[in-house]
Structure 1
């Protein structure tokens, strides 16, 4: 069945209380399909988040992010530990073989038919690379490179990775980034997107930030869970700071 409503979440990064707040939104609960565009577990509550997402069953489509791929590499020793963020290395060590099999089996990219949109590509960084950076102000020539391999009939691309929500046209294609659940830049809370009957809307779910921080601390054995949660759940990094930091990575020079 072709869904008429799709809720898109991204970059959960192992933060359960904000994920729960977004999943409780009436329009998320009513959506026929829920897509999570990568970076599910690399954070302070990896097991709880993966179990919660797995419990959604076939209603949820989970797409691989670069951090998902890296957690598997860290856990299996194919990625050097000295290249990892401390929380990622810790998270990798918490995962069971079943969790690792789930992450290792995630697809990227995924194409699904959505009513009012036709075939939609869901990816993490870009359709061709789960770690490639594109931003709201990325130059047209870069977008042309990114989309060079897409069939002409694909007119909508939904990505993640950079944790900042936007929706824009690029040469007639609609590009959507829902933002981040667990590591937002710019403002606290969970950002997500709704695709419904040919229309896209960017949504934001406010949370009780101090309560969410305490929930992360109570639900995590990560030694630096409080400092991590204080920094990311309070969105201490602004969107303009993040754009400045990510900008050189889209090849703009």
Structure 2
């Protein structure tokens, strides 16, 4: 099969899968998800993605009707239906199916869905320049939960595409007027200043990315100081290096923000950091 879809035990090509209109994911976006990549039938950082998935379910009061081991087996079994080198694996759980009502029964039976699609795996993806734009973050206070409510992210990503840049960086306005950087529409955002890796803290304003977690481990293994703290758009624009991370891209070097040239002044720290991340990404899926 070229693609694989799974819904509560049914398996088909994605375009052939039918899902009830009364699934609460369709009517309310009432669910959570996670995603990673697989190469050579091996799933990258699955344990960490499942940890986050279970945290997300707990945060929105969804009690799964499957175990962690059962979900692991489902994902690995579904991968046997495809033969390409690299695939994106997406899975989500919604609260269940029923007549439309904002409140929900606590004993609702969750619906589990999985999609597996081919993806391009190219080391050059990490080495090309990335260009960003900034935008006020109007999302909810649940951004640390990987919910399927992604309309603000979708609109921000669309505006980035229309402006011929790669990503939108969100910021929040602080009481003192500062513009605190939170994250990208689909990435985490980081900077290097004076040889130190600086990244936003994992509070309720950002999603704790799995690639972000591996980034911190890589930095520490290289003896690079790490600081998890809030920082402003102005700080980001004056950093020695700026880059974005995700589980399907790892580390992309940023060369401009809002049309202004940024970073590109500390290859001695950035290049080894990116190389270690990408090498780990490939090595884990050999």
TM over 0.5: no
Determine which structure has the larger helix proportion and give its number.
1
Which one has the bigger strand percentage?
2
Report the TM-score when normalising by structure 2: 0.28
Q: Which has the higher contact order (CA 8 A, sep 6+)?
A: 1
Normalising by structure 1, we get a TM-score of 0.31
Q: Quick check: which has more Rg, 1 or 2?
A: 2
